[in-house]
């Protein structure tokens, strides 16, 4: 979107519902993280509601979800905080069809599961660093970013380095099919992860 926008969602119901806690129906941290990454890549901001019990305290399931989101942001937050949208918001199967939202506009995020081909882009404020967040862990330990193929109009110059946000330098190759990045052998990511590309 050309202008910044904002959306909100709740991890459970908009008021505290003891049955959601009893039957463990809260949104899991992984789905909220993917939603956040998708929204930020589209120049959006996500407000997340955590309904509180009548004594003003979150329950143990809510604390767990918020803690897992916080742990992910502690590692990958560089690709989210103070970033700006890039030339395109993303690539992959989830970018092909725009789903209708509840009020007949575009849905904030896709209802279909994300894949390892679903990647979202953000960039640093000054535009010198590109972040590519892969929304699902690839089973073969390799990620391909088609939008960064050799001679791509998105990035016509050379790519000097790729790092794992919160980690070290990564091996990569670039050809007509895309930028191919190999994850570390002992990669422990479980939800989504971000590359820092320069």
Taking only the tens place, the pLDDT of each residue in 26-65 is 999 999 999 999 999 999 999 999 999 999 999 999 999 9
Phi then psi for 132, rounded to 5 degrees? -120, 110
Tokens found for residue 91: 């690539």
At 128-168, the pLDDT tens digits run 999 999 999 999 999 999 999 999 999 999 999 999 999 99
Share of the chain above pLDDT 90, in %: 85
Residue 142 and residue 116: Cα distance in Å, rounded? 9
- 1 band by pLDDT with thresholds 50, 70 and 90: confident
Question: What is the per-residue DSSP string for 63-130?
Answer: HHHHHHHHHHHHHHGGGTTT-B--SSSEESGGGTSPPB-TTSSB-SS-SSPP-TT-EEEEE-TTS--E
CB atoms inside a 10 Å sphere around CB 59: 18
Is 106's pLDDT higher than 70? no
Q: Are strands 142-145 and 130-134 parallel, antiparallel or unpaired?
A: unpaired
pTM recorded for the entire structure? 0.92
């Amino acid at each position: 979107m050309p202008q910044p926008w904002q959306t909100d969602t709740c991890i459970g119901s908009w008021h505290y519902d003891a049955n959601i806690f009893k039957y463990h129906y809260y949104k899991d941290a992984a789905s909220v993280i993917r939603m956040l990454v998708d929204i930020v890549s589209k120049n959006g901001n996500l407000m997340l509601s955590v309904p509180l019990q009548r004594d003003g305290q979150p329950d143990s399931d809510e604390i767990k979800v918020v803690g897992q989101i916080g742990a992910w942001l502690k590692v990958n937050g560089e690709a989210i905080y103070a970033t700006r949208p890039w030339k395109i918001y993303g690539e992959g199967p989830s970018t092909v069809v725009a789903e209708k939202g509840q009020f007949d506009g575009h849905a904030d995020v896709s209802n279909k599961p994300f894949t390892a081909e679903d990647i979202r882009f953000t960039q640093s404020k000054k535009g010198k660093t590109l972040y590519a967040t892969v929304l699902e862990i690839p089973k073969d330990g390799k990620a391909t970013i088609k939008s960064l193929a050799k001679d791509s109009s998105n990035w016509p110059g050379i790519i000097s380095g790729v790092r794992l946000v919160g980690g070290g330098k990564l091996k990569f190759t670039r050809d007509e099919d895309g930028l191919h990045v190999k994850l570390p052998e002992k990669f422990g990511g479980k939800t989504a992860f971000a590359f820092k590309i320069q």
